[in-house]
Structure formats: C-alpha cells, structure tokens
Structure 1
Amino acid sequence: MPIELDHTIVPSHNAVNSAQRLAELLDVPWSATGVGPFSPVFVNDGLTLDFIQTDEDFPIYHFCFRVGDADFDAILGRIRAANIPFRSTVRGPMDGQVSTAYGGRMMYWNEPDGRQWEILTVSYARQP
C-alpha cells in the first residue's frame, strides 16, 4: 500500500466556523463534532482536515487543493459569492485575479485565522 496522508490537524481560533466555511467553499461534507475535540472536513475519501479549537498562537499554515476545471470554476464562484478577497500569487495583494502560470489555473485566499488556502488545476510541484 502506498503511503497516503489520512488527516491533519488544523488549529483554529474558531474551529467550527472555519471548518464549515471551508467545507461550503469546497462543497464537501463536514461535521461540527467529530472524534474527540475535532470539527472535521472530509475533503475526499482519503483525506480529512480536523479543525481543533485553540487560543494559542500558531504559524501560518498553507493548504493547496488540486481540482479539476469544473470544480475550480465552482469553488471560485462560491468564493466570489461570499465576497472573499483572493489573489493570483502566494504572497502579495488581493488582486482578484487567477494565475495561469505552470500550464493551469491557480488562486489563493486567506482565512481570518491566517491560514492560506490555494486551489490549482495543474500541480507545479509535480511538473511532467
């Protein structure tokens, strides 16, 4: 069996709201309560993001989701409908643009807790 990432813990100052918001943007299931203290977002059959409530400071986390073109359009539509600022580069101004670098499309947005989310259609980490 290949090694696969099953889940990761995502610290949050408002775990339930953060989990719900991400799940709604990605159009995936979530639960206000999961195993133990977690509010899980079920990204796919093999990956869960377990949001956990904390009052502690934490570093900026970056999570990237590779999606198909139709899902990219749908997620971007939900981000726009929610008036969430987004940008075309990992750092920089919220320019409301989508990058077409690396042979696909990508964009970034931030969560109020400081996390950085990214969606892309072609992985630049695994170029052919």
Structure 2
Amino acid sequence: MPVTFNHTIIPCRDREATARFYRDLFELPEAPSWGPFTNIQMSDGVLIQFAAPPLDEIQMHHYAFLVDDELFDRARQRLLDQGVRTWADPFQQQPDKINTEHGGRGVYFFDPAGHGLEMITRPYL
C-alpha cells in the first residue's frame, strides 16, 4: 500500500467553534465525532480532529489547504465578510493581498485557535 495522509489532531480551546469555522470556510459537511474530538472530513478522505489540549497553552501550527479557484473566491470572501485578516505572505508584510508567485493564488490567515492557515489554488510542486 502506498503511503497516504490519514488524519491529524488540531489543538483548540473550543473544538465545536473551530470545526465549524473550517466546515463553513471550506464548505464541508459535518462528520461523525466521538470522544474528545469534533471531526471534519476532507474530500480526499483525510480526517481532521479538533480537541482541547491537556495543557492550557496552545502552540501555533501551520496548515495549508489546496482548493480550486471557485472555492478560493468564495472562501476568501467569507473571510473578508467575517473580518478575518488575510495576507499574501506568511510574515504578514502584505495585508489584504493575494499571493500569485506559484502560478496560482494564495492567502494566509489565522483560525479561531490561532493556528496559521494557508489557502492555495496550485500546489508548490
């Protein structure tokens, strides 16, 4: 069997609100959840589980999502409508701009738990 990515756990204080942010942004249906996890499932089958960490401190992680051009436009507009700041770069030097350096479009922003997200329309490789 080839290696494929199956799931990850994203730490957050409010797992329901954070999962809802991702579902609404990326237009994903609700997924079955259990135990300490609130889950979403990507269209390729990857499961993302949201859970409160055992410690009070959450360290920032980076997650990048590849989307098509139409979803990019809708999702970016939802971010703007919600007042979520976006940048064209990971260092937050180009606010409210779109990155076009890799033959597609991309933006960086933060989720409700403070994790750095990236949404791109073309893979880097």
TM-score (norm 2): 0.89
Q: CA deviation at 1:94?
A: 6.4
1:52 is aligned with what amino acid? A
List gaps (5 residues or longer) in structure 1: none
Residue 45 to residue 99, structure 1, CA distance change in 2 (3 Å): closer
Counterpart-to-counterpart distance in 2, 1:34 and 1:93: 38
State the identity as a percent. Answer: 26
Partner in structure 2 of residue 59 of structure 1: 59
Q: How does 1:111-122 map to 2 (within 5 A)?
A: 111-122=111-122
Contact 2:60 2:114 in 1 (8 A): yes
Deviations 1:29-86 (A, max 9, x none): 235x712210011122411110002343132111101111111111112111212111
**Count of matched residue pairs:** 124
Partner in structure 2 of residue 49 of structure 1: 48
Q: Which has the higher contact order (CA 8 A, sep 6+)?
A: 2
- Structure 1 runs of 4+ aligned residues shifted over 2 Å read none
Partner in structure 2 of residue 8 of structure 1: 8
Once superposed, what is the RMSD of the aligned Cα atoms? Answer: 1.6
Contact 1:5 1:46 in 2 (8 A): no
2:49 is aligned with what amino acid? D
1:99 aligns with 2:99: yes
1:64 is aligned with what amino acid? A
TM-score (norm 1): 0.88
- Once the two structures are overlaid, the 10-residue window that deviates more, 92-101 or 5-14, is 92-101
Counterpart-to-counterpart distance in 1, 2:44 and 2:64: 17
Contact 1:39 1:52 in 2 (8 A): yes
Partner in structure 2 of residue 75 of structure 1: 75
Higher strand proportion: 1
Residue 93 to residue 113, structure 1, CA distance change in 2 (3 Å): farther
List gaps (5 residues or longer) in structure 2: none
2:12 is aligned with what amino acid? S
